Structure 1
Amino acid sequence: MIRIDDKFYDRAVMQTMSRRAAAAVGVADHGLSFAVRMSDTADYLSLLLAIREAGASALPIHPSTPHAAARRLATDFGCHRLVTDGFAVEQLGAAGPGPGGLLQTTSGTTGEPKRIIRTWSEIDREIESYVATFHAPETMSPVVACPVTHSYGLICGVFVALRRGQVPHVVGTGNPKYLIARLRDTTRPLLYSSPAMLHAVARLLPAGETICAAMTSGTVLPETWLATIRARTTHLFQQYGCSEAGCVAINPDLTASGDMGLPLSHHRVEAGDGAQPREIVVHTGERTIRTADLGYTRPDGMLVFVARLDDTINVSGLNVYPKEVEDVVMAMPGVTDAVAFRRLDPFAGERVALAFSAEHDVPPTALREWCIQNLAAHQVPIETVRLARLPRQANGKINRREIAALHAAGRLERSAEDIVA
């Protein structure tokens, strides 16, 4: 049924574990909400499956979260019980029945994290649409190398595989060398992971070696990363979504990083056209979700991402999309990473600033000349800051607003040093 690291659990074993987990924490009452923070992935998944089967509510919490923070999050969500290692249960005293579904928070990269509730029936519709739309993985073996406390790993990695009758292999390590070894042991592996991990795996693969398939999600790949991953992957997929709607679109053959994919059948998606991008709006069931993403739909139905609305930089009335600047800068020899962000300007209103990292010395004058040769005048960064490493999250996302605020306060270099340390 499922493999976790090097151990296989068949259906009978997982069903027994789920029954024991349900009995240990009192899942029989489907009106309860359970916050679950467990370091043992098998115990965690057995409990999640029991909660889902009972129609109760679950708030998955990453096992690295300190107990006090987990308790605070559970209380904020109105959970009745906090479950930790060994199925220890802490009563939280919440009143009223739970909503019956998956409780989540948004990533917080574009503002304060929001609390999200998705019913199990909504998630079931997502899974059915995902399976009906995306056929390529039917002959592949899913390897889930991302947190199963997040919907990407839990729903698209584990639940979808179980719905297909496959055996998902959950790999609970951030070591790309270990992951490569597991991929070599797998027949036609499909790797579900973050852009950062896919890039690390692609760079570490020996010359001439490739992997069967990979799925990327969470943030748009820099073009240089895409080229590296694409060269080492026979089939490269991308999916686009948001916490409120789940997976929205899937690209079955990723060749341009902004091409998010074709919308799943249970969604109706509105966006602009190539000449006039607009906010991507997702209609799912009776809900309308404004994504705050700027994009458009091509005539062939492909949904294309342009930028976050709040990341767009307005230079004297001209829009600058950060990724266009970043892709040009990262194409310069020696530059390893880059992020463009907004800097207030008394004359233009806003101007482009840039933080970057490099594997060897890149003089500011050389970088500016490169930008002048490859960008429009209003896109050229007015200021550049070199850092040892950019403050990306584990999944590759980066908070441009936070970087802009740190830079304005003169704390960007210090913050980046703290992250590296």
Structure 2
Amino acid sequence: MTPAARISAAIEVLDEIIQRRRPASDALKDWGLSRRFAGSKDRAAIASLVYDALRRKSSSAFAMGAETPRALVLGMLARLRGHSVEEIAALCSGENHAPLPLSADERASLSTLAFDGAADWIRADVPEWLWPAFATGFGSDAVGEGQALAGRAPIDIRANRLKTTRAALTAELAHAAPETGALSPDALRFQPGHDGRGPSLQAEPAFFAGGFEIQDEGSQLVTLLAGARPGQTVIDLCAGAGGKTLALAALMANQGRLFATDLDSRRLAPLHERLARSGASIVEIRIPRSRGHEPLADVEGQADLVVVDAPCTGSGTWRRNPDAKWRVRPGALAERIKDQAEVLARAGRLVRPGGRIAYVTCSVLPEENDGAVSAFLARHAGFSPVPLAQVLASEEGDFGPLARFATSHGLQLSPRRSGTDGFYLACVQRGA
């Protein structure tokens, strides 16, 4: 397919996403299945165009004066990919499956890309209904934080200490130009290319050998700061596919007991294969047999550490899931807050006296973060916050400078602040 035909395809897929409110991944998959002529490179390029258009959906629509799929793609080409008006016009010839030629209004909009009078939520590319919560969390930096969350994310990997070292992995992946992570001692980073795509790391021999896992540096950092130690009894209460479980096993040096569970047992399915590849031998997967069944009843009150990677809106991962930003609906925040209260109460029953709960979200909304911790502390008198200075004190490195990202109860990372996804961490301790 020509570059112009790929743009036409992206407009077509966006129309399907917007009209039918479908996840972008589903719409892209169906488009590819019904058009066998499109090769893997074509499909990848079209996906990149679609996701880039969704990143800047509100601001592109404002600048172009229209919210059509075509307007979103044209605005993105100018704003995110830096194409000139003439370059865009050359791609829109109307010939050989190319988009129709630019109108006079489109040319004018692309020439100025004016944002005079645009509301802050538009300039930040944040859903209007979420803007009050977002602005509360970031204050005067909210527009810049939203714009950073609308950018492209790098690819981060975590060197698996059970199999290798970061230095050895750096040498093995030198052909892919890795950068050393700035925060996590196990992180390597790979920047996306001009088309938004990064290297195919999961095709590397080191991946198949268990030498690394794909994991955002922020996720690595909050897992490390949770405080797991070799020999402890640790529970990953919302383990999902197991990214943090694997990181915890490595931090524990395969010593102790590590339980992984999730209310949705289907989410645990990938963990079995990942465990085999990683060499983590201390992990025991506990699958709930039914709703309301506690698969960890036999270790209640025994855990040194319970990691709660709580269900949330996922607002901190909008760089990687830009379509999710526009699909989340009013009411979802209240539902997530209810879920967070329930899982924290469950963690409170599992942790031993003197033990710790590490509460983690991939959210930047204060209601899901400090708000959830405050609500838990108000309902559970036997728990108290762990001071952030104590959380940041680690033999793994000097994390003291992260104190500048402190919140009332914990730590808030974000693309603009820390160069990571938006992760929150707060720790609370049960009284002895």
TM-score of Structure 1 vs Structure 2, range by shorter chain:
under 0.3
TM-score calculated relative to the size of structure 2: 0.27
TM-score calculated relative to the size of structure 1: 0.27
More strand by share: 1
Q: Which has the higher contact order (CA 8 A, sep 6+)?
A: 2
More helix by share: 2
